A and B are shown apart, each in its own frame.
Chain A
């Protein structure tokens, strides 16, 4: 599914970039400064396709110098996951704020970007254990024990550090398509009593052996120009 979405967006992106590479290079260029606001399409598609998953993310960046953008994301996720031993729901919101650096040398007044960025994020959410089983290898008394009484845990807060690499291409006037991958690490993660944060909104599934996670995003965004220089 993920790969499929990627190829579709790749298709559009390559059109956009090929079209622009035909333009003539010129040393005198102006920069347009302004705010770009968008959403993550992959989250919308996943919400529609995956059962028990709803998510929405707004992302924005503000170009404050020739190469640097102030960037951030705000989103919420509601996900139910059925593992062999536990079925749980994680519901919450997150925000991430940081800086993007555009490493792409644009021709003329093009506004494409190949960027690298760094984010700090906070995710606040609530875990509910819908059902769970008790690991009992011996079936002399009971075949298997599944408890279906839901358990609600206190709110969890997790702090995130994220490295992001991606590209944004202007497909129409001021309308951008983007793709990015994220490498993230959670710090300051406090588990609820007698449970663990198995899914963190804005991070994804956690694993037993590391604090690292990866993610990807496909964005569509609109640039609101403020001034030219």
Chain B
């Protein structure tokens, strides 16, 4: 009887330990929109955008200021059905001839506005990871202006769920 009590005591102690769940599932996070840039004339060839600056419309912060990129990953607004970004090519700060005085500096470059529309869907991943958002029925476009550097676009997939492949190709 005493031996049995001892065994049960150890078993009971073992049960007291509880495993922590850590989110380790791949692709558990809500995906970014992945855009690749191609040559308009040779549409199989990647073509980098020089001096690319990325700013979310209605966002007071700049998302990224990159030297030269042939692909970008940008986050989409989860609680809304659309997200717009300003993509500025050849972004530079013109110091207006006065390098010491930054007050009269102004930005130059060719700005194009892209807009992505979609439907949100929450998908349960696991207890530790919770839910992720998947973007369905994705549409992609850019606002025409007098001097677009973006010439055409192709939506590769209308469901943004993982970040393995580009979702949109931009030709320029």
A interface list, Cβ under 8 A from B: 2-3, 6, 10, 13-14, 17, 21, 83-86, 104, 112, 114, 132-138, 140-142, 145, 147, 165-167, 169, 179-181, 194-196, 198, 205, 207-208, 214-216
| Closest A-B pairs by Cβ, 7 of them | A85-B130, A138-B75, A136-B30, A17-B1, A181-B11, A137-B29, A141-B77
Distance in angstroms from A114 CB to nearest chain B CB is 5
Stretch from B41-49, B105-113, B117-125, B164-172 contacting the other chain: B117-125
Instruction: Number of B interface residues at 8 Å Cβ cutoff, please give it.
Output: 42
Contact of B159 with A by CB under 8 A:
no
Complex interface: chain A residues within 8 A of B11 (CB): 165, 181, 216
Distance in angstroms from A58 CB to nearest chain B CB is 22
Q: What would be 20 A-B contacts, judged by CB atoms less than 8 Å apart? A: A17-B2, A17-B5, A21-B1, A83-B21, A85-B23, A85-B131, A86-B127, A112-B1, A114-B1, A133-B130, A135-B129, A136-B78, A136-B132, A140-B75, A142-B77, A142-B78, A145-B78, A165-B11, A181-B8, A196-B124
Tally inter-chain residue pairs, CB-CB below 8 A: 122
Assess whether B15 is in contact with A84, with CB atoms less than 8 Å apart: no
Assess whether B127 is in contact with A83, with CB atoms less than 8 Å apart: yes
Complex interface: chain B residues within 8 A of A133 (CB): 130-131
Assess whether B2 is in contact with A135, with CB atoms less than 8 Å apart: no
Q: Which of B83, B125, B126 has the most CB of A within 10 A?
A: B126
Assess whether B128 is in contact with A84, with CB atoms less than 8 Å apart: yes
Determine the distance from Cα of A30 to Cα of B8 in the docked complex, in whole angstroms: 29
